[in-house]
Amino acid sequence: AQHPHPPIEVAASSDETIVWAASRGYGLLLSAVQTVASLATCIELYTSHGGTAGDVRVERFCLVAESDAAARERATPIIVRLTRRLAALGGDEHGHEAVGTADLDPFRFHEETAVIGGPATVARRFAELRDELGVQRVNLRPSFSGTASLALQQSTVRMFAAKVAPLLAQPAIRRVNS
C-alpha cells in the first residue's frame, strides 16, 4: 500500500487542467491522439507550473511487426478506420476534443502520432519521447481504440516485450531501418 495514497494522474487536454494538475503535484496523462509537438507543448506547460516530465505518462497507439514494411501494411487499414471514426466524432477521443482534423490525416497520424514499425523503429520512437521530452512512462494502446484484432494486439505486446524493450534498455538508440 502506498501512503498516503497511490499516485494520482490527471488526463488533461486543456491548459487550465494541465496547470491545475501541476500545481497540485498530480501526474499528467496525455492522450494517444496527440502529436509529438502537442505533447511537447503540454509537457512544457506542465513543467513550467511545477510538474516534472518524469510524472507525465503518454499513451501511444503502437503496432510492432517484423519490419517497418510489414507494420505499415498491417497498420494502414487500422489507422484509416481509427482516424475516420475520430474525425466523425470531431477529434473527440474520450469526451473532449483532443486534436484538430488536420491531425487525423491517416498519413500524418501514422508518421507523427502512432508508433508503428519494426522493433528498431519502435524503440527509436519511444527513445525519442524519453530523450527529447523526458517521458519515462508510456501506456501502449495496441488496440487502436478497438480497431485492431486481438491477434494483432497480442503479437504487438509479445514483440514489444521480446524485441523492443531490450533495445530501450541500451544506453543509446540510433536511427536504424528495420
Q: Compute the average pLDDT of residues 88-117.
A: 70
Task: Provide the whole-model pTM.
Answer: 0.82
CATH for 9-168, options being 3.20.20.30, 3.90.650.10, 3.50.50.60, 3.40.50.620: 3.20.20.30
The pLDDT value given to residue 116: 97
Q: Where are the domains of the chain?
A: 9-168
| Mean pLDDT (whole number) for 122-141 | 92
As given in the structure block, the three cell numbers for residue 141 are 494502446
Q: What is the pLDDT of residues 137-151, one digit of tens each?
A: 999 999 998 899 999
The grid cell for 7 is 499516485
pLDDT average, residue stretch 108-127: 93
Other CB atoms within 10 Å distance of the CB of residue 53: 15
Closest CA to 115 of 173, 65, 42, 54: 65
Span 15-35, average pLDDT: 92
Return the higher-pLDDT residue of 68 and 83.
68
Residue 119 CA: distances (Å) to CA of 66, 107, 116, 129, 169: 7, 20, 9, 16, 13
Which helix (H) or strand (E) segment holds residue 56: the answer is strand 56-64
